[in-house]
Amino acid sequence: MRKICLLLTVLVFGFSCGPSPQTKEEQGQAEGSLFIIGGGSRPNALVNHMIDEAGLRDGGYAVILPMSSSVPDSAIIWASEQFFHNGIENVTGFNFLHDTQPDSQWLDSIRQANLVYISGGDQNRFMGVAGDTEIEEAIHDAYNRGAMIAGTSAGAAVMSQLMITGNELRYPEYSPTFRTIESENIELAPGLGLIQTAIIDQHFIWRNRHNRLLTAVIENPDLYGIGIDESTALLVRGNEAEVTGISQVMVFQNPDNSYQEKNGKLGARNLLVDIYLPGETFSLD
Protein backbone atom coordinates (compact mmCIF):
# COMPACT_ATOMS: atom_id res chain seq x y z
CA MET A 1 0.00 0.00 0.00
CA ARG A 2 1.37 3.41 -0.86
CA LYS A 3 2.26 5.79 1.92
CA ILE A 4 0.90 9.20 1.07
CA CYS A 5 1.13 12.33 3.20
CA LEU A 6 -0.69 15.26 1.70
CA LEU A 7 -0.38 18.73 3.24
CA LEU A 8 -3.97 19.57 2.32
CA THR A 9 -5.33 16.57 4.20
CA VAL A 10 -3.32 17.54 7.29
CA LEU A 11 -4.58 21.12 7.16
CA VAL A 12 -8.23 20.22 6.61
CA PHE A 13 -8.60 17.25 8.91
CA GLY A 14 -5.96 17.96 11.52
CA PHE A 15 -3.86 14.84 11.64
CA SER A 16 -0.64 13.57 10.17
CA CYS A 17 -0.02 10.49 8.05
CA GLY A 18 2.00 7.64 9.43
CA PRO A 19 3.01 4.25 8.14
CA SER A 20 0.08 2.35 6.62
CA PRO A 21 -0.84 -0.84 8.48
CA GLN A 22 -0.48 -4.11 6.67
CA THR A 23 -3.53 -5.30 4.79
CA LYS A 24 -5.50 -8.17 6.32
CA GLU A 25 -8.34 -8.20 3.82
CA GLU A 26 -6.85 -11.02 1.76
CA GLN A 27 -7.15 -13.22 4.85
CA GLY A 28 -10.72 -11.98 5.46
CA GLN A 29 -9.52 -10.01 8.48
CA ALA A 30 -9.89 -6.38 7.45
CA GLU A 31 -9.82 -4.09 10.47
CA GLY A 32 -12.89 -2.11 9.43
CA SER A 33 -16.63 -2.65 9.57
CA LEU A 34 -19.58 -2.37 7.21
CA PHE A 35 -22.91 -0.64 7.81
CA ILE A 36 -25.24 -1.81 5.04
CA ILE A 37 -28.58 0.04 4.95
CA GLY A 38 -31.49 -1.42 3.00
CA GLY A 39 -32.70 1.95 1.73
CA GLY A 40 -35.78 3.95 2.61
CA SER A 41 -35.83 6.45 5.46
CA ARG A 42 -32.96 6.50 7.94
CA PRO A 43 -34.26 7.02 11.48
CA ASN A 44 -32.03 9.04 13.78
CA ALA A 45 -31.41 5.97 15.94
CA LEU A 46 -30.03 4.14 12.90
CA VAL A 47 -27.82 7.08 11.88
CA ASN A 48 -26.54 7.47 15.44
CA HIS A 49 -25.69 3.77 15.61
CA MET A 50 -23.63 4.19 12.44
CA ILE A 51 -21.93 7.32 13.80
CA ASP A 52 -21.09 5.67 17.12
CA GLU A 53 -19.76 2.48 15.55
CA ALA A 54 -17.57 4.54 13.20
CA GLY A 55 -16.12 6.45 16.18
CA LEU A 56 -16.98 9.84 14.72
CA ARG A 57 -17.83 11.30 18.11
CA ASP A 58 -14.20 10.75 19.12
CA GLY A 59 -12.82 12.71 16.13
CA GLY A 60 -12.04 11.97 12.53
CA TYR A 61 -14.35 12.65 9.61
CA ALA A 62 -16.79 11.15 7.13
CA VAL A 63 -16.56 11.12 3.34
CA ILE A 64 -19.72 10.88 1.21
CA LEU A 65 -19.42 9.27 -2.23
CA PRO A 66 -22.51 10.26 -4.29
CA MET A 67 -21.68 8.65 -7.63
CA SER A 68 -24.72 6.32 -7.52
CA SER A 69 -27.02 9.33 -7.66
CA SER A 70 -28.24 11.15 -10.76
CA VAL A 71 -28.03 14.35 -8.68
CA PRO A 72 -24.71 13.83 -6.84
CA ASP A 73 -24.41 17.35 -5.43
CA SER A 74 -27.85 17.05 -3.87
CA ALA A 75 -27.00 13.57 -2.57
CA ILE A 76 -24.03 15.03 -0.70
CA ILE A 77 -26.23 17.74 0.82
CA TRP A 78 -28.97 15.30 1.87
CA ALA A 79 -26.55 12.86 3.47
CA SER A 80 -24.58 15.64 5.16
CA GLU A 81 -27.73 17.04 6.75
CA GLN A 82 -28.35 13.80 8.62
CA PHE A 83 -24.83 13.86 10.00
CA PHE A 84 -25.16 17.54 10.97
CA HIS A 85 -28.53 16.89 12.62
CA ASN A 86 -26.94 14.22 14.78
CA GLY A 87 -23.98 16.31 15.90
CA ILE A 88 -21.32 15.43 13.29
CA GLU A 89 -20.03 18.41 11.30
CA ASN A 90 -16.73 17.07 9.96
CA VAL A 91 -18.24 15.71 6.75
CA THR A 92 -17.19 16.18 3.14
CA GLY A 93 -18.22 14.74 -0.22
CA PHE A 94 -16.31 13.83 -3.37
CA ASN A 95 -18.11 13.38 -6.69
CA PHE A 96 -15.63 11.49 -8.86
CA LEU A 97 -16.39 11.50 -12.59
CA HIS A 98 -16.38 8.65 -15.09
CA ASP A 99 -13.18 8.29 -17.17
CA THR A 100 -11.52 11.15 -15.29
CA GLN A 101 -8.27 10.78 -13.37
CA PRO A 102 -9.20 10.76 -9.67
CA ASP A 103 -7.92 13.65 -7.59
CA SER A 104 -5.04 12.28 -5.48
CA GLN A 105 -5.96 14.44 -2.49
CA TRP A 106 -9.52 13.12 -2.55
CA LEU A 107 -8.20 9.56 -2.71
CA ASP A 108 -5.98 10.11 0.30
CA SER A 109 -8.89 11.63 2.21
CA ILE A 110 -10.90 8.44 1.55
CA ARG A 111 -8.01 6.30 2.80
CA GLN A 112 -7.78 8.24 6.06
CA ALA A 113 -11.53 8.66 6.74
CA ASN A 114 -13.32 7.13 9.72
CA LEU A 115 -16.45 6.59 7.65
CA VAL A 116 -16.95 6.26 3.89
CA TYR A 117 -20.63 6.60 3.04
CA ILE A 118 -22.01 5.56 -0.39
CA SER A 119 -25.31 7.15 -1.36
CA GLY A 120 -28.34 5.56 -2.97
CA GLY A 121 -29.25 5.71 -6.63
CA ASP A 122 -28.01 3.23 -9.24
CA GLN A 123 -25.31 0.74 -8.24
CA ASN A 124 -24.29 0.34 -11.89
CA ARG A 125 -23.61 4.06 -12.11
CA PHE A 126 -21.41 3.89 -9.01
CA MET A 127 -19.37 0.92 -10.21
CA GLY A 128 -19.09 2.51 -13.65
CA VAL A 129 -17.14 5.31 -11.98
CA ALA A 130 -15.35 3.50 -9.15
CA GLY A 131 -14.92 -0.09 -10.33
CA ASP A 132 -11.36 -1.25 -11.04
CA THR A 133 -9.96 2.22 -10.32
CA GLU A 134 -7.93 3.94 -7.62
CA ILE A 135 -11.25 4.92 -6.05
CA GLU A 136 -12.10 1.29 -5.36
CA GLU A 137 -8.54 0.73 -4.09
CA ALA A 138 -8.85 3.69 -1.73
CA ILE A 139 -12.11 2.32 -0.31
CA HIS A 140 -10.43 -1.03 0.36
CA ASP A 141 -7.42 0.72 1.89
CA ALA A 142 -9.72 2.59 4.29
CA TYR A 143 -11.53 -0.64 5.17
CA ASN A 144 -8.27 -2.48 5.82
CA ARG A 145 -7.04 0.38 7.99
CA GLY A 146 -10.12 0.23 10.21
CA ALA A 147 -12.70 2.56 8.67
CA MET A 148 -16.39 1.87 8.44
CA ILE A 149 -17.74 1.56 4.88
CA ALA A 150 -21.46 2.37 4.82
CA GLY A 151 -24.04 2.59 2.10
CA THR A 152 -27.76 2.76 1.51
CA SER A 153 -29.84 1.17 -1.25
CA ALA A 154 -27.48 1.18 -4.26
CA GLY A 155 -24.71 1.81 -1.74
CA ALA A 156 -25.72 -1.49 -0.10
CA ALA A 157 -25.80 -3.46 -3.34
CA VAL A 158 -22.19 -2.55 -4.20
CA MET A 159 -20.85 -4.13 -1.01
CA SER A 160 -20.82 -7.70 -2.32
CA GLN A 161 -18.37 -9.39 -4.65
CA LEU A 162 -21.22 -10.23 -7.02
CA MET A 163 -23.70 -7.38 -7.22
CA ILE A 164 -27.33 -7.49 -8.31
CA THR A 165 -27.64 -4.90 -11.07
CA GLY A 166 -31.44 -4.73 -10.96
CA ASN A 167 -31.73 -5.74 -14.62
CA GLU A 168 -33.69 -8.76 -15.83
CA LEU A 169 -32.06 -10.41 -18.82
CA ARG A 170 -35.28 -12.04 -20.03
CA TYR A 171 -37.48 -8.99 -19.40
CA PRO A 172 -35.58 -5.80 -20.24
CA GLU A 173 -38.39 -3.45 -19.24
CA TYR A 174 -37.54 -2.40 -15.67
CA SER A 175 -39.63 -3.71 -12.79
CA PRO A 176 -38.83 -3.08 -9.11
CA THR A 177 -39.10 -6.81 -8.44
CA PHE A 178 -38.83 -10.06 -10.39
CA ARG A 179 -42.16 -11.51 -11.52
CA THR A 180 -40.77 -15.03 -11.97
CA ILE A 181 -38.03 -17.38 -10.79
CA GLU A 182 -36.30 -18.26 -14.05
CA SER A 183 -32.91 -19.36 -15.25
CA GLU A 184 -30.52 -16.95 -16.91
CA ASN A 185 -32.64 -13.97 -15.91
CA ILE A 186 -30.76 -12.30 -13.08
CA GLU A 187 -27.85 -10.08 -14.06
CA LEU A 188 -24.90 -9.98 -11.68
CA ALA A 189 -21.85 -7.75 -12.03
CA PRO A 190 -18.70 -7.09 -9.99
CA GLY A 191 -19.25 -5.03 -6.86
CA LEU A 192 -16.68 -3.73 -4.39
CA GLY A 193 -16.14 -7.19 -2.90
CA LEU A 194 -16.18 -6.02 0.73
CA ILE A 195 -18.39 -9.07 1.36
CA GLN A 196 -17.30 -12.12 -0.61
CA THR A 197 -19.61 -14.78 0.83
CA ALA A 198 -22.97 -13.19 0.06
CA ILE A 199 -25.09 -11.29 -2.45
CA ILE A 200 -26.82 -8.25 -0.97
CA ASP A 201 -30.33 -7.09 -1.89
CA GLN A 202 -32.10 -4.00 -0.53
CA HIS A 203 -35.61 -2.55 -0.01
CA PHE A 204 -36.18 -6.24 0.43
CA ILE A 205 -39.43 -6.97 2.24
CA TRP A 206 -41.06 -3.64 1.39
CA ARG A 207 -40.60 -4.24 -2.37
CA ASN A 208 -41.12 -8.02 -2.34
CA ARG A 209 -37.75 -8.84 -3.84
CA HIS A 210 -37.74 -12.49 -2.81
CA ASN A 211 -37.90 -13.86 -6.35
CA ARG A 212 -34.67 -12.31 -7.51
CA LEU A 213 -32.70 -13.31 -4.42
CA LEU A 214 -34.06 -16.87 -4.64
CA THR A 215 -32.91 -16.89 -8.25
CA ALA A 216 -29.48 -15.70 -7.14
CA VAL A 217 -28.94 -18.44 -4.54
CA ILE A 218 -30.23 -21.21 -6.81
CA GLU A 219 -27.77 -20.17 -9.51
CA ASN A 220 -24.99 -19.28 -7.03
CA PRO A 221 -25.37 -21.87 -4.25
CA ASP A 222 -22.00 -21.11 -2.67
CA LEU A 223 -23.22 -17.66 -1.60
CA TYR A 224 -25.66 -16.44 1.02
CA GLY A 225 -28.50 -14.29 -0.27
CA ILE A 226 -29.01 -11.42 2.19
CA GLY A 227 -32.08 -9.20 1.81
CA ILE A 228 -32.11 -6.07 3.97
CA ASP A 229 -35.39 -4.24 4.46
CA GLU A 230 -35.89 -0.48 4.44
CA SER A 231 -34.90 1.59 7.51
CA THR A 232 -32.78 -1.38 8.57
CA ALA A 233 -29.06 -2.08 8.42
CA LEU A 234 -26.62 -4.92 8.76
CA LEU A 235 -23.55 -4.10 10.82
CA VAL A 236 -20.72 -6.43 9.80
CA ARG A 237 -17.54 -6.88 11.81
CA GLY A 238 -15.32 -9.61 10.43
CA ASN A 239 -17.60 -12.59 9.80
CA GLU A 240 -20.28 -11.53 12.30
CA ALA A 241 -23.39 -9.60 11.25
CA GLU A 242 -25.85 -7.76 13.50
CA VAL A 243 -29.27 -6.46 12.48
CA THR A 244 -30.13 -2.91 13.53
CA GLY A 245 -32.99 -0.56 12.69
CA ILE A 246 -36.75 -1.12 12.62
CA SER A 247 -37.38 -4.10 10.31
CA GLN A 248 -35.89 -7.46 9.31
CA VAL A 249 -33.07 -9.07 7.38
CA MET A 250 -33.77 -12.27 5.44
CA VAL A 251 -31.02 -14.77 4.64
CA PHE A 252 -31.42 -17.46 1.97
CA GLN A 253 -29.09 -20.45 1.60
CA ASN A 254 -28.84 -23.35 -0.83
CA PRO A 255 -26.72 -25.80 1.19
CA ASP A 256 -27.36 -28.80 -1.07
CA ASN A 257 -26.46 -26.93 -4.27
CA SER A 258 -29.94 -27.82 -5.45
CA TYR A 259 -30.79 -26.80 -9.00
CA GLN A 260 -33.61 -27.88 -11.28
CA GLU A 261 -34.77 -26.26 -14.51
CA LYS A 262 -37.73 -26.94 -16.75
CA ASN A 263 -38.80 -24.73 -19.62
CA GLY A 264 -36.76 -21.91 -18.12
CA LYS A 265 -38.39 -22.12 -14.69
CA LEU A 266 -36.10 -22.84 -11.74
CA GLY A 267 -36.71 -25.32 -8.95
CA ALA A 268 -34.72 -26.29 -5.85
CA ARG A 269 -35.02 -28.42 -2.73
CA ASN A 270 -34.16 -27.87 0.93
CA LEU A 271 -33.44 -24.17 0.69
CA LEU A 272 -32.94 -22.47 4.04
CA VAL A 273 -34.62 -19.20 5.00
CA ASP A 274 -33.88 -17.24 8.17
CA ILE A 275 -35.57 -14.00 9.21
CA TYR A 276 -33.56 -11.93 11.68
CA LEU A 277 -34.94 -9.19 13.89
CA PRO A 278 -33.17 -6.07 15.21
CA GLY A 279 -30.53 -7.01 17.76
CA GLU A 280 -30.06 -10.53 16.42
CA THR A 281 -26.75 -11.72 14.99
CA PHE A 282 -25.58 -14.39 12.56
CA SER A 283 -22.34 -15.59 11.02
CA LEU A 284 -21.21 -15.04 7.45
CA ASP A 285 -18.80 -18.00 7.51
Provide the whole-model pTM: 0.89
Numbers of helices and strands, H then E, in the chain: 8, 16
Q: With beta carbons less than 8 A apart as the criterion, state whether 120 and 183 touch.
A: no
| Residues 250-268: b if buried by 16+ CB within 10 A, e if exposed | bbbbbeeeeeeeeeeebeb
Q: 152 in the Ramachandran plot: left (φ > 0), alpha (ψ -120 to 50) or beta?
A: beta
Res 285: pLDDT: 87
Rounded Cα–Cα distance for residues 65 and 84 (Å): 17
Q: With beta carbons less than 8 A apart as the criterion, state whether 67 and 136 touch.
A: no
**Structural domains in the chain?**
28-278 (3.40.50.880)
Residues of the chain with pLDDT under 70: 1-29
Q: Could you list the active site residues?
A: 153, 182, 203
Complete DSSP assignment for 174-219: --SS-SS-BTT-EEEEE---SBSSEEEEESTTTTT-HHHHHHHHHH
Res 30: pLDDT: 78
Res 27: pLDDT: 45
